[in-house]
Amino acid sequence: MYAALWRVLPGPWWVRVVILLAAVAVVLYGLFFWVFPWVSTIVDPQEVTIQ
């Protein structure tokens, strides 16, 4: 999968690295500002019972 992604990206290796770093940054931004807050409203860690 990673090799296929590497072959699809345009440019020399340093441009590919910059594109991949930007893509990782966008994914992390989306996770931290949209996905994780949405999940925290569903999952309440204070309501844990152990028997």
Chain segment 13-44, per-residue pLDDT in tens: 999 999 999 999 999 999 999 999 998 888 87
Residue 49 lies in a domain: no
Domain around 23: 2-38
Residue 48 lies in a domain: no
User: Which has the higher per-residue pLDDT, 39 or 50?
Assistant: 39
Residue 44 lies in a domain: no
Which residues make Cβ contacts (< 8 Å) with residue 6, sequence separation at least 6?
A: 16
Residue 51 lies in a domain: no
Give the pLDDT confidence score for residue 5 in this predicted structure.
Answer: 86
Number of domains within the chain:
1
Give the pLDDT confidence score for residue 28 in this predicted structure.
Answer: 97
Give the pLDDT confidence score for residue 47 in this predicted structure.
Answer: 67
pLDDT at 50 over 80: no
Query: What span, in angstroms and rounded, lies between the C-alpha atoms of 14 and 20?
Result: 10
